[in-house]
Chains A and B, each alone.
Chain A
Amino acid sequence: MDTSKRAKQEYDQMVKKASPNSPIFTNCLKAFFSGGLICGFGQLLLDYFSKTNSQEDAALLVSVTLIAISAILTGFGLYEKLGKHCGAGTIIPITGFANSVVSPAIEFKKEGLIFGTGAKMFILAGPVIVYGTFTSMIVGLIYYFVGR
């Protein structure tokens, strides 16, 4: 019993040493390149929109454009395919946020347009908006009393 346990531990260590590219390393590499490319593409858009808009408007236009592209890709089921390979690279950018809204909106269509699509599209975006709004209010409070 004791020896078999030890053997198992030794085996586990051997496996750890033997696998050179741990999944986390390749995952990070994929996330880096895919996420980097999405942000780089966003930068190209930003440079383009900045020609005719204020800095703030240009940033918003970039977000809206990326959200639209992500929504269309999600509609064709392509964003999920990307996501399988890219992991956080497709979750962290705003395209991932858009995907988290569009995906359940389509998925729950069978429960109706009101309580399916209408309600379930916020299943992931809801918490993001709730905690984002809450945090922004605290930031605003502190800024009001201390920051100015």
Chain B
Amino acid sequence: MVSFLKAFLVGGLLCVIGQILIDKTKLTSGRILVIYVCLGCILGGFGIYQPLKDFAGAGATVPLTGFGYRLADGVMKEVDSSGVLGIFTGGMKAAAGGVTAAVVFAFLVALVANPKEK
């Protein structure tokens, strides 16, 4: 229950920041997603996101900053284990699960569902 509340609080706050960006800056949602991923990646690189993840669990990993953190975490681990090549493989390796899931489910759903008539 405590872990649920922490995730709720931190995840909710990350969404509020996004909402403020949308309302105040007129950034489109696509740009905000890009900003969130890059921000998560940079914070992950500096080792700032890890403590947030330890505190909030899914509250930090479910928002898109968590995806960015996953990229940073993956690339650093891969550099540790395979050196220079890790710079090229680490990020994509870490992203593989999420991207593959999104692509496969998107394709399957698109095969079945039809666009709404407007």
**B7-47 interface bits toward A, Cβ cutoff 8 Å, 1 = contact, 0 = none:** 11111111110111111100001101110111001101100
Q: List 24 A-B contacts (CB under 8 A).
A: A27-B23, A31-B12, A32-B19, A37-B8, A40-B8, A63-B98, A64-B97, A64-B101, A68-B105, A71-B102, A88-B18, A88-B32, A96-B64, A101-B106, A102-B110, A105-B107, A109-B114, A117-B110, A124-B30, A127-B33, A132-B41, A139-B75, A140-B86, A141-B87
Main secondary structure of the interface of B (DSSP, over half): helix
Q: Chain B residues with Cβ under 8 A from A89's Cβ?
A: 12, 15, 19
Q: Which residues of chain B are within 8 angstroms of A110 by Cβ–Cβ distance?
A: 115
Interface residues of A in 63-77 (CB under 8 A from B): 63-64, 66-68, 71-72, 74-77
Q: Which residues of B contact A (CB under 8 A)?
A: 3-16, 18-24, 29-30, 32-34, 36-38, 41-42, 44-45, 56-59, 61-64, 66-68, 70-72, 74-76, 78-80, 83-84, 86-88, 90-92, 94-95, 97-99, 101-103, 105-116
Q: Is the CB of B110 within 8 A of A144?
A: no
Residues of A in contact (CB 8 Å), total 78
User: Is the pair A62, B58 in contact by a Cβ cutoff of 8 Å?
Assistant: yes
Contacts of B113 in A (CB 8 A): 74-76, 106
Kindly report which residue of chain A lies nearest to residue B94, judged by CB atoms. Answer: A136
Interface residues of A (CB under 8 A from B): 23-24, 27-28, 30-40, 42-47, 59-60, 62-64, 66-68, 71-72, 74-77, 87-89, 91-98, 100-102, 105-107, 109-110, 113, 117-118, 121, 124-125, 127-129, 131-133, 135-144, 147-148
Taking a contact as CB atoms under 8 Å apart, the answer to whether A43 and B3 are in contact is: yes
* Inter-chain contact B4/A40, CB cutoff 8 Å: yes
Contacts A44-B4, A109-B110; A27 near B19 (Cβ below 8 A) = yes
Q: In the complex the two chains form, is A135's CB within 8 Å of B41's CB?
A: yes
How distant is the Cα of A121 from the Cα of B110 in the complex, in angstroms?
10
- A93, B15: Cβ atoms closer than 8 Å: yes
Check B101–A67 contact: CB distance below 8 A: yes
Q: How far is the CB of B56 from chain A (nearest CB, A)?
A: 8
Q: How far is the CB of A87 from chain B (nearest CB, A)?
A: 5
Residues of chain B contacted by A124 (CB below 8 angstroms): 29-30, 33
Residue ID in chain A nearest B44 by CB atoms? A139
* Residues of chain A with a CB closer than 8 A to B11's CB: 35-36, 38-40, 42, 93
